[in-house]
Amino acid sequence: MAMDYAKCAKEIFETLGGRSNLVSAAHCATRLRLVTVDNSKIDMKKLENIDGVKGVFSNNGQLQLIIGTGTVNKVYDEFLSVSGMTAATKEEVKAAAAAKQPVFKRMIKALGDVFVPILPAIVASGLMMGLVEALGKAIPAFAGSDWYGILDLMANTAFTFLPVLIAVSAARVFGGNIFLGAVIGMIMIHPNLVNAWSVGGMEASQIPVWHLFGFPIRQVGYQGHVIPVVIAVWLMCKIEKWLHQHVPEMIDLFVTPLCTVLATAFLTLGIIGPVFSTAETYVLEFAGWIVTVGHGIGAMIMGALYPLTVVCGIHHMYNVIEAGMLSAEGA
Catalytic residue among 28, 237, 259, 312, which?
28
DSSP 191: T
CA 179 to chain centre: 18
The residue type at 57: F
Q: Which of 228, 236, 234, 226 is nearest to 319 (CA)?
A: 226
- Show Cβ contacts of residue 263 under 8 Å, excluding neighbours closer than 6 positions: 239
Q: Is 316 helix (H, G, I), strand (E, B) or coil?
A: coil
Report the distance separating Cα 216 and Cα 295, nearest Å: 46
Report the distance separating Cα 202 and Cα 199, nearest Å: 5
Ramachandran area for residue 283 (φ above 0: left; ψ -120 to 50: alpha; else beta): alpha
- Show Cβ contacts of residue 143 under 8 Å, excluding neighbours closer than 6 positions: 136, 137
Report the distance separating Cα 222 and Cα 278, nearest Å: 11
Burial of 314 (0-12, 13-18, 19+ CB in 10 A): middle
DSSP 86: P
**Would residue 28 show up in a list of annotated catalytic residues for this protein?**
yes
Report the distance separating Cα 216 and Cα 317, nearest Å: 32
Residues annotated as part of the active site: 28
